[in-house]
Amino acid sequence: VPLTELDARVSVCRACPRLVGWREDVAVQKRAAYADQPYWGRPSPGWGASEPRILLVGLAPAAHGANRTGRVFTGDRSGDWLFASLHRVGLARTATSVHAADGQELVDTRMVATVRCAPPQNKPTTAERDTCAPWIEAELALLQEHVQVVIALGGFGWDAALRTYAGLGWSARPKPRFGHGAEARLVRADGGDRAVTLLGCYHPSQQNTFTGRLTEAMLDDLLCRARTLASL
Ligand code: SF4
């Protein structure tokens, strides 16, 4: 299945009743500030380069972010931080990501959500995470020959990346622990000579950025490291 068809298929998935209900309720009720806008209210496919060297793995769409705009990390505070930093280091064409037709482009980079529908309180259940896993696995199966660096945003993205790569025959031993700046080398269990670097990054959530746990300089440094590892 080509990437565009995968995107089309995931965007109509209804496999998780609780998340389908939530994403559609939010899209009808809306936040007052966006009352005049249509909401996407569906799963958010991966977005960016189709042959990326860098892959960002996040948690799930924000209720009034990607669940509104239809584009991952677009239209919320986490995305504001992320795109500004991506632009500063040369991985995004512009510094903002406001809506799906704003002209933004990622450079050799793609971003995906692990769970593709917005969950209440940003917390998918383990069963929802597992139900959605085939989507990210199918996407990574298509991308794995290009991706050299995976940036895991938060511990959830870290574990999801490790699990997904393991399902595709890649391993890292001993199991690496998440931390900001942590690096792990994933190699093919069948002895192939390719390696991918998994890079841990604190999630640019307001919880982290408001408290100074993640600063702009830390995020810029980490994305620069990813660029170097990806030979960009
Ligand atoms: Fe489908 Fe994933 Fe959304 Fe569940 S979270 S409905 S599996 S796209």
- Contact 60 CB / ligand 1 (< 6 Å): no
Return the pLDDT at 57: 98
Q: What is the pTM of this model?
A: 0.97
The total of structural domains in the chain comes to 1
Range of the domain at 78: 3-229
* Distance from the alpha carbon of residue 43 to the mean position of ligand 1, in angstroms: 6
How does pLDDT run across 103-147, given as a tens digit for each residue? 999 999 999 999 999 999 999 999 999 999 999 999 999 999 999
Domain with 138 in it: what CATH number?
3.40.470.10
Residue located nearest, by CA, to atom 7 of ligand 1: 132
ipTM of the complex: 1.00
What pLDDT is stored for residue 151 in this prediction?
A: 98
Could you say which residues of the chain have pLDDT below 50? none
To test the ligand 1 pocket, which listed residue (42, 72, 135, 137) has its Cβ within 8 A of the most ligand atoms?
Answer: 135
For the stretch 206-215, pLDDT in tens is 999 999 999 9
SS3 annotation, the chain: CCHHHHHHHHCCCCCCHHHHHHHHHHHHHCCHHHCCCCCCCCCCCCEECCCCCEEEEECCCCCCCHHHHCCCCCCCHHHHHHHHHHHHCCCECCCCCCCCCCCCCECCEEEEECCCCCCHHHCCCHHHHHHHHHHHHHHHHHHCCCCCEEEEEHHHHHHHHHHHHHHCCEECCCCCCCCCCCEEEEEECCCCCCEEEEEEECCCCHHHHCCCCCCHHHHHHHHHHHHHHCCC
* Per-residue pLDDT at 175: 86
What's the pLDDT at 174? 82
